[in-house]
Chain A
Amino acid sequence: MSATRRHFVAGGLAATAALSLPRIARGAAPRVVVVGGGFGGATAAKYVKKFLPDAEVTLIERDKQFITCPFSNYVIGGIEKMQTITHGYDKIAKRGVKVVHDEAVAVDPNAKTVTLKGGATLAYDRLVLSPGIDFIWDAVPGYSEAAAEVMPHAWKAGPQTLLLRKQLEAMPDGGTVIIVAPANPFRCPPGPYERAGMIAWYLKNNKPKSKILIFDPKENFSKQALFFEAYENLYPGMIQWIGGKQGGKVTRVDPKAMTVEAEFGEEKGDVINFIPPQRAGKIAQIAGVTDEKGWCPIDPKTMESTKVKGIHVVGDACIAGAMPKSGTAANSQARNAAAAIAAMLQGKEPPEPSFANTCYSIVAPGYGFSVTAMYGATPEGIKEIAGGVSKLKAPAKDRDLEAAYAYDWYRGIIYDALG
């Protein structure tokens, strides 16, 4: 039996037996602290409370409202409003989750405490980190947090989403929009290409002489053939993708001159959407659960960190094998983590997880397609069991149905995480 396999089977149980069980055996309610109120964290908090109603579950989230990245491209394209993608935590609070609007600034895995910016220290039996992503601001010369006010990333939904939208509204007809896509791995693999479609929808109807250039260090990307088919069907000649082989890797940006320098040459943009390279959210680094590349290795059966016992990591921050960094993936990982945590806190064997992902992309109203898969845990990581993408050349009614399903998926995940 390999070390990985041994850990896979016994890691969680050992930690439970050594640390959690005695306290709970004394009759105290188990304490679960969840950091980050996105799809992963909200779902984890809700489901731990559901599986273990006696547990004291605290969700730490900086913001009063959750503005979702899914569907934020539709705000950028002008077919949805910010209100559609903005949600509160009142419903999960009513379910018994204690929602604390503060920021986790320190984790002590030995004392099992989380310290908040506001000064409070919370003790936990099990900690869930769902911190999402942080940007590596200085990865490309010329870009910075300040530059994001000129060349918005709009990769965390909120003011940045509106900034990009406003820039598109202010752009003259005949202008050039440049989208700079990051290298793998990054949040929402189909996102930059869905965004290109949504921007094209706005431009086609308002500024039809304009064009969109996508600069990309990659040689292929999620649902590529479906996106190319859609661009050709809906926006012929408007969107140009410059991939890795064509020299699409960006080497420098200049926010003053509004230029992007790539391996193939330099282009000037009227609107530049620069999506920076990413790593796990800062608290994961502070807690010591990240690897040398900045992401969090986990035990696929429990989502428990392989670096620090007692801490589970879900969502974009974790290394989830074949699963992409998506809202659905985070939601699915969080449910399984919650089931594992509930079992471990009761001194039971964690149940076998079942993971799913579905990512819809809408590139025009009534034109949607998807990638989906089911996954399972193996000692080597999370592996895909089966799945795939929508068919190419599908009839218009299928694209229309999948666009409607995207909206239903959104309603469903909001309910599952926050309802």
Chain B
Amino acid sequence: MKGITIPVALAVTLMAGSAMAAPTAEAIARNCVVCHGPKEAGQLEIPKIANYPARKMVEMLTGFRAGQKEATIMDRIAKSLTDEQIQALAAHFASQ
């Protein structure tokens, strides 16, 4: 868990510093599904995340956030998420 302590603290500081309240997982998730769309969207390369196992998603997002997991774009996006948001997003997508 050491690896993710700093990014979490950073994210919390950024949010607190700019008086930003926390959106719900549903509100955040609506951004995710633009690229990680439902199968009707017809996407070919970007992984689907509906019904994604929660534990694996937490592992992926924390790995991206810490820069420990190889990424093209998700490392930059995951840095915006707090631990709580990662947990909530994982639960949200797992239950779809």
Q: How far is the CB of B70 from chain A (nearest CB, A)?
A: 9
A38 to chain B, nearest CB (A): 15
Q: Which residues of A contact B24 (CB under 8 A)?
A: 351-352
A355-B31, A376-B20, A416-B33 known; A386 vs B41 contact (CB < 8 Å): no
B31 near A390 with CB under 8 A, answer: no
Assign chain A's interface to a size class. Answer: 35 or more
Given A386-B79, A413-B34, check contact A351 B27 (CB 8 Å).
yes
* Chain A residue with the shortest CB-CB distance to B27: A354
Nearest Cβ distance between residue B46 and chain A, in whole angstroms?
4
A332 contacts the other chain (CB 8 A)? yes
Contacts A390-B72, A405-B73 known; list 14 others, CB within 8 Å. Answer: A335-B31, A351-B23, A352-B22, A354-B23, A358-B34, A376-B23, A385-B11, A401-B72, A404-B44, A411-B37, A411-B44, A412-B34, A412-B43, A413-B34
Asked if A264 CB lies within 8 Å of chain B CBs, one says no
A73 part of interface (Cβ distance < 8 Å): no
> Taking the complex as formed, is A383 at the interface, i.e. its CB lies under 8 A from any CB of chain B?
yes
Q: How far is the CA of A415 from the CA of B30 in the complex (A)?
A: 13
A353 to B41 CA separation, bound complex (whole angstroms) = 24
Q: Determine how close the nearest CB of chain A comes to the CB of B16; give it in whole angstroms.
A: 11
A residues 189-203 near B (Cβ < 8 Å) are none
Q: Number of A-B pairs whose CB atoms are under 8 Å?
A: 127
Question: With A374-B77, A376-B23, A379-B19 in contact, is A354–B34 under 8 Å at CB?
Answer: no
16 contacts between A and B (CB under 8 A): A336-B27, A352-B23, A353-B27, A374-B31, A377-B21, A386-B76, A401-B45, A408-B44, A408-B45, A409-B35, A411-B37, A412-B33, A412-B35, A412-B43, A415-B38, A415-B41
From 8 to 34 in chain B, residues with beta carbon under 8 angstroms from any chain A beta carbon are 11, 14-15, 18-24, 27-28, 30-31, 33-34
- Nearest neighbor of B65 in chain A, beta-carbon distance: A386
We find that the number of chain B residues with CB closer than 8 angstroms to chain A is 34
Judged by a CB distance under 8 angstroms, whether A176 is at the interface is no
Assembled-state Cα–Cα distance A113/B11 (Å) = 43
Cβ contacts under 8 Å, A372 to chain B: 73, 76-77
Which residue of A is nearest B76, CB measured?
A388
Is A68 part of the contact surface with B, judged by Cβ < 8 Å? no
Does the CB pair A416–B34 fall under 8 Å?
yes
A407-B44 contact given A356-B31, A416-B33, CB 8 Å threshold: yes
Q: Does A419 contact B (CB under 8 A)?
A: yes
- What are the residues of chain A within 8 A of B46 when measuring CB–CB? 405, 408-409, 412
Q: Do residues B80 and A412 form an inter-chain contact, with CB atoms below 8 A?
A: no
The reply to whether B44 and A385 contact each other, CB–CB distance below 8 Å, is no
Fill in one digit per residue for A329-349: 1 if any B CB lies within 8 Å of its CB, else 0. 001100110010000000000
Among residues of A, the one whose C-beta sits closest to the C-beta of B42 is: A411
Q: Which 7 A-B pairs have the closest CB atoms?
A: A374-B80, A356-B31, A415-B41, A386-B79, A354-B23, A386-B80, A376-B20
B45 touches A383 (CB 8 A): no
Q: Which of A352, A379, A415 contacts B27 (CB 8 A)?
A: A352
Complex alpha-carbon distance, A378 and B20, angstroms: 5
Chain A residue nearest to B29 (CB atoms) is A354
B76–A373 touching, CB < 8 Å: yes
- Contact across chains for A405 and B28 when beta carbons are under 8 A apart: no
Contact A378 B18 (CB under 8 A): yes
Is B84's beta carbon under 8 Å from chain A? no
Q: A405–B73 Cα gap in the complex (Å)? A: 10
CB distance from A179 to the nearest CB of B (A): 27
- The docked-state distance in angstroms from the alpha carbon of A306 to that of B43 is 38
Q: Tell me the complex Cα distance, A85–B38, Å.
A: 20
Asked if B73 and A402 sit within 8 Å, CB to CB, the answer is yes
A59 to B61, CA, bound (A): 37
Q: Mark A312-339, 1 if CB is under 8 A from B, else 0.
A: 0000000000000000100110011001
